[in-house]
Chains A and B, each alone.
Chain A
Amino acid sequence: MKLGLVKWARTKSPWLVHFNTGACNACDIEVLAALTPRYDLERFGAILRGSPRHGDVLVVTGPVTRQVKDRIVRIHEQMPEPKFVVAVGSCSSSGGVFRGCYNVYPGLDSVVPVDAYIGGCPPKPEAIINGVAALLAKIRGG
């Protein structure tokens, strides 16, 4: 019963922390667009928080560059458990068009564990919302 309530609360209140690991901005503007009136992620209780300490879901856009690697690991560490990571866009999922470049890791999952991938270059805001919804379903399921 108690766990049921907590699980319910978790699925209803995903606070996002957005981190750009070297993206071309395309995914970032689409993540932001998902917050704006036409899409309005707040309907699902999702709000964007500045401090990693407050967040539940780390939304990562862009290929992970060498220089940013330590930062992303650190921000991931700073977030309190339970935490989830969403890789938005092809670059974040696999390195995308930059795979093989000397300064880019092959995907976010080679640095931190990832719970959900959202494909697309960039994914439309609808796809991002769908991805967040899929993550919530995953939390609810297990």
Chain B
Amino acid sequence: MSKFEVPVGPQHPALKEPESFTFVVDGEHIVEVRPRIGYNHRGIEKAAESRTYIQNLYLMERICGICSVAHTTCYAQNVEYLYEKEIPPRAEYIRVIINELNRIHSHLLWLGIAGHEIGFDTLFMYVWRDREHVMDVIEAITGNRVNYAINTIGGVRRDLTDEAIAKARKVLDILEERTKYYRRVAAAEPSLISRVKGIGILKPSDAVRLCAVGPTLRASAIKSDVRKDDPYSAYEEIPFNALSYDMCDVFSRILVRVDETLEAINIIRYCLDHLPNGPVRIKLPRNPPAGEAVSKVEAPRGEDIHYVRSDGTERPARYKVRAPTLGNIPAVCDMLTSKADCTVNIADIPIVLASIDPCFSCTDRAIKFVDPRKQKEWIWSHQQLERYSRRKANP
């Protein structure tokens, strides 16, 4: 059978975001993957250099709408490192609570999307219905559903109210029950399992070699979690487990995320029980001292790393963001390429792509990746392809 290219994206139902992957397929099997990223490149790093530190908070929030609070936490923390100041413990705890709520929302969202990608729309609808509970709590605490605007340099903007705490506790109970239910479904539903088990294998050695991060790495039997390895905020004081599964496939990525959701519920409960009293923010001078700092946060998708360089003015000299998805791109290309011992089908593309929980808006202040191997078979060039599909009967 002749080889044949299937473009996925930039507008494709499997990708909620404009990225483009070109798959070279042989029948239903994928032999090569060539991603083209950059559709989402907005030039945030350049923009950050022309805004003040406070203004940049808004920009960082909007790097990614799903893990927004991870980016602002990372940013605020980074600038606080520049000042060499600690923020009040209550603020640290509130940050942890919001970060974990965000993780729950993100993982549930992902579980729904994963269901949708394998044509299991009922799961999608159910999970998203329950996810609305988290959104309610987040809205009660921060006032917003998606971009929370809770972090500020030197602490958080809003304190937790008693009603919000009561609401959070109630919702956590519902969520725990529902998440456990989904865990049972995931472990028992045969048509679901048949689509995810043994699919998208990423061997532990490859995961380390290609520098995968977050749940993708943890699903390949490597216990690596920034919250444990490089504890920030209040994570040093909070007891929790870093999880890992060793099946290295999509199924194991599902289990890691579902279990992390349960773990996050426990973390929030602990934080609510041990919430210290005191102020929630400190005042810091307008301009941080000259210097540089690196800050890392475990975003729902993995390690999020920011670097800041200050020259003592009110604007950063350089601000660098590396979001988790970029770190996982080489890994997902590896997962999607058929190897001697396992083949990958077209039908598996959506779920495998989704299994790293891609978030290209974060990633794309950057990147395109082309497999350097040259294909000898007949292939249409990108321009040909575009011209071809742009042709219409009535011009």
Footprint of B on A, CB under 8 Å? 17-30, 32-33, 36-38, 50, 52, 62-63, 65-68, 70-71, 74-75, 77-78, 91, 96-98, 100-104, 121-122, 124
Query: How many A-B contacts are there with CB distance less than 8 Å?
Result: 129
Interface digits, B371-383 against A, CB 8 Å rule (1 contact, 0 not)? 0000000000000
Whether B42 lies near A98 (C-beta < 8 A) is yes
Whether B18 lies near A68 (C-beta < 8 A) is yes
Contact of B65 among A17, A18, A23, A70 (CB under 8 A): A23
Whether B65 lies near A24 (C-beta < 8 A) is yes
Which residues of B are found within 8 Å of A63, using beta-carbon distances? 42
- Contact A77 B390, CB 8 Å, known A29-B146, A97-B59: yes
Is there a chain A Cβ closer than 8 Å to B147's Cβ? yes
17 further A-B contacts with Cβ under 8 Å, apart from A24-B62, A26-B62, A103-B42, are A23-B17, A23-B40, A24-B65, A25-B359, A28-B17, A28-B65, A29-B109, A33-B128, A33-B135, A65-B39, A68-B10, A71-B11, A71-B39, A75-B11, A77-B392, A96-B62, A101-B43
Is there a chain A Cβ closer than 8 Å to B38's Cβ? yes
Task: Across the interface, name the chain B residue whose C-beta is closest to A58.
Answer: B11
Is there a chain A Cβ closer than 8 Å to B242's Cβ? no
Is there a chain A Cβ closer than 8 Å to B171's Cβ? no
Bound-state CA distance A71–B129 (Å) is 33
Footprint of A on B, CB under 8 Å? 10-13, 16-18, 38-44, 46-47, 58-59, 62-66, 68, 109, 112, 124-126, 128-129, 132, 135, 145-147, 359, 361, 364, 386, 389-390, 392
Task: Across the interface, name the chain A residue whose C-beta is closest to B55.
Answer: A97
Whether B42 lies near A26 (C-beta < 8 A) is no
Contact of B66 among A22, A26, A74 (CB under 8 A): A26
Whether A37 lies near B146 (C-beta < 8 A) is no
Bound-state CA distance A96–B42 (Å) is 12
Bound-state CA distance A128–B41 (Å) is 25
- Contact A22 B16, CB 8 Å, known A101-B46, A122-B146: no
Which residues of A are found within 8 Å of B68, using beta-carbon distances? 24, 26
Which residues of B are found within 8 Å of A21, using beta-carbon distances? 18, 39
Bound-state CA distance A34–B306 (Å) is 33
- Contact A33 B132, CB 8 Å, known A21-B18, A24-B63: yes
Provide 6 A-B residue pairs closer than 8 Å at the C-beta atoms, listed in order of the A residue. Answer: A30-B146, A67-B39, A68-B39, A98-B44, A103-B42, A122-B65
Which residues of B are found within 8 Å of A27, using beta-carbon distances? 65
Which residues of A are found within 8 Å of B13, using beta-carbon distances? 50
Contact of A67 among B41, B65, B146, B361 (CB under 8 A): B41
